[in-house]
Amino acid sequence: MKTYNRARGICEEFSDHVLYDKTRHSLIVNVDQKYFKIIKKELDRLGYTLVFTKAFSDSDTITCAFK
């Protein structure tokens, strides 16, 4: 549970748009593309795996899901 709380904290540092599932310990976050590499690297260190990404052409944000 401690790792999950750290992962949530990392995502919340870079975005106000974070969804989390306490049961599965998964996270969905929408961030500026410039922060994506930082978040992915930090969550990789905690053992999270990137399972989904989607970027839209009309905005500079990317939505990604980690499990």
Domains of the chain listed by start with CATH number: 2-66 (3.30.1360)
Q: Which pLDDT tens digit goes with each residue over 24-59?
A: 999 999 999 999 999 999 999 999 999 999 998 888
pTM over 0.85: yes
- Please say whether the dihedral angle defined by the alpha carbons of residues 39, 41, 42 and 46, taken in this order, is positive or negative: positive
> Residue 56 has what pLDDT?
83
> Strand 26-32 relative to strand 18-21: parallel, antiparallel, unpaired?
antiparallel
> Residue 57 has what pLDDT?
81
> Residue 40 has what pLDDT?
96
Radius of gyration of the chain, Cα coordinates, nearest whole angstrom: 11
pLDDT reading at 15 higher than 70: yes
